[in-house]
């Protein structure tokens, strides 16, 4: 006898507000994959501003050994944006 291990459609009303928002953003199928892979885990999602602080640090570090053009391509930014981040 085989056991069906697929998840049934989800009634999201029992989820926390944050989990409901995430499920609405990623959709049902991806939500099920996230639950399978990370279920029971606590995940920290940084504020958007913290993301940019970390990204800008990486840009500064990377740019010390690479050209402006290489840096802008690596981070998918314009050369002008990279200059602003580097303070120039």
Residues of the domain holding 66: 48-86
Q: Are residues 56 and 68 in the same domain?
A: yes
DSSP assignment, residue 9? P
Domain presence at residue 70: yes
Domain presence at residue 21: yes
Q: Are residues 39 and 69 in the same domain?
A: no
Answer yes or no: are the C-beta atoms of 23 and 33 closer than 8 Å: no
**Nearest Cα to Cα of residue 43 among 33, 35, 51, 52:** 35
Question: Could you report the average pLDDT of every consecutive run of 10 residues in the chain (88 residues)?
Answer: 57 82 89 90 86 94 96 96 93
Q: Are residues 54 and 68 in the same domain?
A: yes
What is residue 4's predicted lDDT score, i.e. its pLDDT?
A: 53
């Amino acid at each position: 006898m085989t056991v069906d291990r697929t998840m049934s459609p989800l009634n999201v009303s029992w989820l926390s507000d944050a989990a409901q928002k995430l499920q609405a953003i990623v959709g049902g199928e991806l939500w099920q994959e996230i639950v399978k892979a990370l279920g029971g885990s606590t995940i920290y999602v940084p504020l958007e501003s913290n993301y940019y602080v970390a990204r800008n640090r990486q840009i500064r570090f990377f740019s010390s050994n690479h050209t402006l053009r290489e840096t802008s391509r690596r981070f998918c930014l314009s050369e002008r944006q990279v200059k602003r981040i580097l303070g120039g």
